[in-house]
Structure 1
Amino acid sequence: MAAQTIAEAAIYEGLEAQAFPFFGAERRGAPVMAFCRIDDKKISVRTQVYQPDMLVVMDESLLDIEPVADGLKPNGSAVVNTKLSPDKVDLGIRVKCVSVDATTVALEMLKAPIVNTAILGAMAKANDIVTLESIKKAIASRFGEHLGEEAGRINAAAAQAAYDRAVLGESAAQRPIVKKRAWTPTWQDIPPGVALGQADMNGLKVGPGSAFQVRTGTWRTRTPRYLREKCVRCAKCWFICPDAAISRESDDHIQIDYDHCKGCGVCASICPAKAIEMAKGAKL
């Protein structure tokens, strides 16, 4: 929604624009990307944007799990939803950076932690490609059309509030920018006669190109805590875990793979001894 809205704002200013999202099969919790191109000439390219002039990060936890700044131009800019000041935002590259606590803005004005409209206001502070007034007009139009005039007005006001609270500075460049690994092909992509070795993951034989390449544990909002002293070693949690994130040790106690546990809570709900409890947050 944010990418389409900023594209519409650019069109209001007489520019050409295109926007599109990119996401996988997972429907909740997985990192999602969206791309937007703006130009004063007709846009004929239809690929993803690999060397952006601007980077917008709506969830700062992505900084620790994704190479978000990979490809960002040295003279580019970044907008990050965070409580940190720009000089504390470590992107691995020193660029113009706008930080804003868009989550708090959204909670105050929209009564929900949905930051896609608030963050657009901060984008206007990062550069002058699209003005704040055009952004607010596009927000009011898009949300007003689908949710009513009042929803459009409130979301536009959230963008204004984020603009007012946004802090402009320069990012830190301490972390290394890790290039994305070449994705291991799935079995459909392997030419006939070629084989890739299996890996062993918690006792499971994992084939090439499997989901174990993705640290899905970073998606969760709740984390299971194993209470070893309560466990009766029935193995129900091990049997029912939909992500195979629970393994059995030699003494029939369990071990949780936090790199891939999504925090669904099925293990806690089925445990007869209440030996697993769900804690808030992605980490214990």
Structure 2
Amino acid sequence: MDKFNTLEILRSSAHNSSIFHLCINRPAVRNALSMDFFSEFPRALAALDQNPDVRVVVLSGAGGHFCSGIDLSTLNSTITGPQSGTSADRGRTGERLRRDIKSLQDAVTAIERCRKPVIAAVEGACIGGGIDIITTCDLRYCTEDAFFSVKEVDLGITADLGTLQRLPAIVGYGNAMELALTARRFSGVEAKEIGLVSRVFASKREMDEGVRIVAEGIASKSPLAVIGTKAILLRTRDLNVEQGLDYVATWNSSMLLSDDITEAISAAKQKRKPVFAKL
């Protein structure tokens, strides 16, 4: 595995575990997102995606907080650019800024490009860019002391890394509108009530154990079935029912021809755990 300045990749302590932990590792600034993060994050996810030993990725933050949002110096450098003031052409300045924003968006969308399921385990602050990240994850859990905020309007900007596109589908249009316009802080308990997270745990220790159980359950299933389920759900959210059914029929016309089905049926008949080949 590559070494990163803003991230840490760890394999679960269980012997030959297929669960890997990706940790945002800037605890001194509550894991604020720097420019290094935006270049390293997609590389880390691509490495985990291509590693045949990985079946599930657990995403968390170091030092008691998940993410306090984009680093203000990163935000400033994105707006001003490395050559600020060298051109009075507003069109070219705007085009450069658009490319920079698209690059940041692409780093967050890397979670969806990762074929393996990504589970967010949130402790402490999850603000601004942190919301962009967790709404891209496949499953979300948090501790009771977690708190959230779609903070961008307080910084004078419109959230542009994915929250406004993904959050409404998760918590409903009305809830997303209220949270995005007020930028108010809300608790882990409220996050569960509106559907942002699936479960709230009393402590980090309990969350780690609960997430481990969920991750191990997913990791024990057919890798082809798991990546197919993620891919189909992501693809069909933008399709109508007929288009979605056609897409999954095309997908399964190739993916069903695998040894995983034979192994799953055989294991069920023999009342044993199935053993699937790596992907």
Question: Normalization by structure 1: what TM-score?
Answer: 0.29
Greater strand fraction, Structure 1 or Structure 2: 1
More helix by share: 2
The structure with the larger Rg is 1
TM-score by length of 2: 0.29
